[in-house]
Amino acid sequence: MALPVDIEALDKAFSGIGVDEKSLISILTNSNEEHKKSLRKGSSKLFIEDAKGFERSDQFSIKILKHQFKRFRDAVMLSVLHPWERDARLIEKAIRKGPKHYNVIVEMACTRSSDQLLGARKAYHSLFHHSIEEHLVTHIKGRERKLLVALVSAYRFDGPGVNEDVAKSEAQILYEAINNGEKNKLLDHEDAIMILATRSKQHLQALYQHYNQSYDKTLAQDLEGEGILKDTVECLCTPQTYFTRVLEAAVKEDADEESKRALTRVIVTQKEQLVKEGFVPNKIQDILLGLYKDFMLASIASGDIK
């Protein structure tokens, strides 16, 4: 018969993001059939006892468990791919999966250097025999299309130097567009899209500071609830805020599967930024499990910046 400590350890092995492979090996390889039967009876996370006393698997729980076992594999694959291929595949998948995933396109377009984004666009040609822009136009029919096409087409100036007067005047343009009853139409605002899609990140960060100093709310606050517009501003102007928001959403008790997947994507693909910002993984280490946990924490700690 399984001891309560074994049942507790089995449940704990599945009670996080990832699975505790070492505990599973220890428990299951040392179990005979009677021991496994009592494990099934005691493990409400994976098994349901029917009216005849048969301990059958809970298929919904098994489906969730499959996602947990895949996390380590997915993290490894994202790490081993060429960065250009990795980003191209993430963008293509986001286009296919629809509006709830457009933040991934924004993330790839706005956190990469101009050369890195150009590399992803070249990889997309080779992998999918179309341009990113063509697939965006083909598959996205909503108002987000214009901004997304502009973002992935950008080749921003990466050097220093900001014209503060221009940054201040463009902060005013955004403020007036948002606060003159046009916030919901900002995706159609030609000047707003031009500013977000063409200006250097240094320029946009200066614009962000002018906006915050001149008005009652920050630009991000004024765009609260505006989906990819807020994501765009945060990725370009305050990437650490964006990454923290994504990571915190992933480890919430009620986090959905897409939020949890974002944890892998951000840590593996944005490691350079996380290391640069001095990200300390205290908020994630207690909820991650097994090889997935080891891989995620080692990825951040290694500082292996490419």
Q: Give the pair of three-digit tokens for residue 276.
A: 């640069």
The answer to whether residues 290 and 19 touch, using CB atoms and an 8 Å cutoff, is yes
Q: Tell me the residue type at 122.
A: K
Q: Residue 21 and residue 25: Cα distance in Å, rounded?
A: 6
Question: Is 14 part of any known ligand binding site?
Answer: yes
Instruction: Provide CATH code, domain 4-48+55-68.
Output: 1.10.220.10
Q: How would you classify the pairing of strands 47-49 and 55-57?
A: antiparallel
Q: Give the pair of three-digit tokens for residue 51.
A: 């009216």
What average pLDDT score do residues 131-153 get?
96
- DSSP 3-state of 147: helix
On average, the pLDDT of the chain sits at: 89
CA angle 193, 195, 198 (to 5 degrees): 95
Q: How many CB atoms lie within 10 A of CB 254?
A: 6
What's the pLDDT score for residue 190?
92
The answer to whether residues 204 and 194 touch, using CB atoms and an 8 Å cutoff, is no
**DSSP-assigned letter for residue 223:** T
What average pLDDT score do residues 134-142 get?
95
What average pLDDT score do residues 194-213 get?
97
Of 2-6, 87-91, 161-165, 270-274, which range is least confident? 2-6
Question: pLDDT tens digit string along 82-126?
Answer: 999 999 999 999 999 999 999 999 999 999 999 999 999 999 999
Q: Give the pair of three-digit tokens for residue 296.
A: 């995620």
Question: pLDDT confidence of 52, banded at 50, 70, 90?
Answer: confident
Question: pLDDT confidence of 303, banded at 50, 70, 90?
Answer: low
CA dihedral 8, 14, 20, 26 (to 10 degrees): 50
User: How far, rounded to the nearest angstrom, does the alpha carbon of residue 231 sit from its chain's CA centroid?
Assistant: 11
What's the pLDDT score for residue 111?
94
**Phi, psi dihedrals of residue 55, rounded to the nearest 5°:** -90, 95
The CA distances from residue 234 to 18, 60, 166, in Å, are 28, 36, 20
CA angle 24, 29, 32 (to 5 degrees): 120
**CATH fold match for the domains 4-48+55-68 and 82-155:** yes
- Delimit the domains of the chain by residue range: 4-48+55-68, 82-155, 242-302
Question: Is 225 part of any known ligand binding site?
Answer: no
Question: Is 16 part of any known ligand binding site?
Answer: yes
Question: pLDDT tens digit string along 217-248?
Answer: 999 999 998 899 999 999 999 998 999 899 88
Question: pLDDT confidence of 285, banded at 50, 70, 90?
Answer: confident
Residue 28, burial from CB neighbour count under 10 angstroms (0-12, 13-18, 19+)? middle
Residue 285 or residue 22, greater confidence: 22
The answer to whether residues 14 and 27 touch, using CB atoms and an 8 Å cutoff, is no
Cα Dmax for the chain: 77
What is the architecture, at CATH level 2, of domain 82-155?
A: Orthogonal Bundle (1.10)
